[in-house]
Amino acid sequence: MSAGAVDARSVASTVTDPELPLLTLADLGILRDVRVEDGTVVVEVTPTYSGCPAMGVMRADLVLALHRAGFAAVDVRTVLSPAWSTDWISNEGRRKLAAAGIAPPGAAPARAPGPVPLQLGAVRRTAACPRCGSPDTVEQSEFGATACTALRRCRSCLEPFEHVKEI
Amino acid sequence: MAHEETVYDALTNAHDDAGHWAFGTGFDDPLAGVDTTVPDGVDPADLGVYCLMLGDDALVLAQRLTEWMTNAPELEEEVAFGNIALDLLGQARLLLARAGSTGVLGRSRTLATGSIPDEDALAYFRDADEFRNTALVEAPNGDFAQTMIRLLVATTVRLAVFARLRGSRDPVLAAIAAKGVHELTYHRDHAARWVLRLGDGTAESSRRARAGAAAVWPLTAELFTATDVEARLTTLGVAVDPVDVRDEVRGVLTTVLERATLTVPAWPAETPPRGRQGVHGPELADLLATLQGLARQHPAATW
């Protein structure tokens, strides 16, 4: 990898998610590749959810950051496959989430080919309280303020918190 | 171009004169950088129409769910409908962009929209008879129970189709489906758990759930008959013949309704596809008037 590509990667790695600005795109695992092709910085990103409204802003932020670092030609490309999984959130990203009071995701459910089994019972996701550490927490709402979070409440300290749901 | 001073400048300046689409968000082509070559032996026109079918289902259902905003019985469910609608809208954007990449726009008779991205042109400037969604998704919401039962049926069908499309010979469609399966699993199971609560809840919630099922079931009549486009693309390994998901869909729905202590209504006699051929009720025109009105009256609007 050329020095230019290393520099470009370090610049792209500092760009943050507009909805979770504590996390960089690298922490989130959506920055898939940064390389230089014929003098153009090619950045590959993958959306979290199909409808993630932050993608356009992320693309613009990447272009802006690389322009400011002196890279005139920037091409931000989307990759759809393989689909993003919360398993790609880095350990550093998980630490930052917990420090910000957001419970990081557990392991994503296993994916198998064929029909997807119906789950009618109570949702068995678990998450320790990011404030007091208690494992005794309950889901309040399967959907939260952003596509990637659910709402939970701690039964020990009684505080509500967001949880990045596993996909 | 001078370096932009703010992110917002970048949003509006980075995309040439089409920067105001989609509506000032700067959300440019969701398939930017994706190889959209049509696989060998596949008619691009067929692939485009098939992507419209799947995309229009998602776009129209998202619009129906959005009607619950400020109207849902509790805040959590409003947030849930909003999130589900957003996921579906995202799927619609990808599928309409995929349709656009096959050149489907050039065959549409109402479009003379210049620099507007394909996905926006397809969403905002087609008339009702050019939409390929099924009747199931365009029917009015009804009450909360009926909305939830329609959501259960629609997501069950879509999940079954998408699970199979993960193996499509069109790599773009396969990737869109693989991503969508994760989302649709969450949607379907959410709707299923609500149907359990309603059906096996109070006398009033159970009454409404029964009425909702009675209203939604007839809309399944056209769901499992392939159009010629679907039949041809299934032979080529690109599409899914909807008849292949019928038993699975009926099995899932029967399981949920029985667990909810609801009687499973009789399955309607199957009919030829109508919505997939562009034949719709007046409900779709009403829905599109809301969805498309602003874009048509103020094509350069930004905010």
Query: DSSP string spanning B148-173?
Result: HHHHHHHHHHHHHHHHHHTT-SSHHH
Report the CATH number of the A3-78 domain.
Answer: 3.30.300.130
The rounded distance, in Å, linking the Cα atoms of B38 and B54 is 17
Q: Is residue B302 domain-resident?
A: no
Q: Does A159 touch chain B (CB under 8 A)?
A: no
Residues of A in contact with B259 (CB under 8 A): 120
Query: From residue B300, how far is each of B9, B19, B100, B117, B161 by CA, in Å?
Result: 17, 10, 21, 13, 37
Give the number of domains in chain B.
Answer: 1
pLDDT tens digits for range B1-55: 344 444 444 444 444 433 433 444 444 678 888 999 999 999 999 999 999 999 9
Q: Is residue B303 domain-resident?
A: no
Cβ atoms of residues B135 and B57 within 8 Å? no
Q: Say yes or no to pLDDT of B302 above 80.
A: no
pLDDT tens digits for range A60-119: 999 999 999 999 999 999 999 999 999 999 999 999 999 999 999 999 988 788 889 998
HSE-CB of B286 using CA atoms within 13 angstroms: 8
Q: How many CB atoms lie within 10 A of CB A41?
A: 26
Shortest alpha-carbon distance between residue B242 and chain A (Å):
14
| Average pLDDT of the residues in B251-273 | 98
The rounded distance, in Å, linking the Cα atoms of A16 and A64 is 12
Q: How many CB atoms lie within 10 A of CB B151?
A: 26
> What pLDDT is attached to residue B32?
84
pLDDT tens digits for range B53-106: 999 999 999 999 999 999 998 899 999 999 999 999 999 999 999 999 999 887
Quote the tokens at residue B76: 């959590």
**Residues of the domain holding B260:** 2-297
| Average pLDDT of the residues in B185-191 | 95
Q: Say yes or no to pLDDT of B107 above 80.
A: no
pLDDT tens digits for range B203-220: 999 999 999 999 999 999
Chain B interface mutation, best of A31, A116, A124, highest count of B Cβ atoms under 10 Å: A116
> What pLDDT is attached to residue B303?
59
Quote the tokens at residue A163: 């949880």
Q: Say yes or no to pLDDT of B109 above 80.
A: no
Q: Which of residues 5-34 of B touch A (CB under 8 A)?
A: 7, 10-11, 14, 25-28, 30-34
The rounded distance, in Å, linking the Cα atoms of B280 and B246 is 22
- Interface contact flag, A81 B28, Cβ < 8 Å: no
Mean model confidence pLDDT for chain A: 90
Q: Does B159 touch chain A (CB under 8 A)?
A: yes
Going from N- to C-terminal start, the domains of chain A cover 3-78, 101-105+124-167
Cβ atoms of residues A144 and B80 within 8 Å? no
Q: Say yes or no to pLDDT of B250 above 70.
A: yes
The rounded distance, in Å, linking the Cα atoms of B18 and B149 is 40
pLDDT tens digits for range A3-37: 577 799 999 999 999 888 999 999 999 999 999 99
Q: Is residue B36 domain-resident?
A: yes
Quote the tokens at residue B139: 């029917």
The rounded distance, in Å, linking the Cα atoms of A24 and A45 is 12
Q: In angstroms, what is the C-alpha Rg of chain B?
A: 20
Rounded to 10 deg, the angle between the B144-165 and B171-199 helix axes is: 150
Q: How many CB atoms lie within 10 A of CB B67?
A: 16
Mean model confidence pLDDT for chain B: 89
> What pLDDT is attached to residue B247?
97
- Contacts (Cβ under 8 Å, ≥6 apart) of B17: B115
Q: Considering the entire predicted model, what is its pTM?
A: 0.91
The DSSP bridge pattern shows strands A31-37 and A40-45 to be: antiparallel
Shortest alpha-carbon distance between residue B59 and chain A (Å):
12
Tell me the percentage of chain B whose pLDDT exceeds 70. Answer: 86
Tell me the percentage of chain A whose pLDDT exceeds 90. Answer: 69
The rounded distance, in Å, linking the Cα atoms of B228 and A155 is 56
Q: Is residue B18 domain-resident?
A: yes
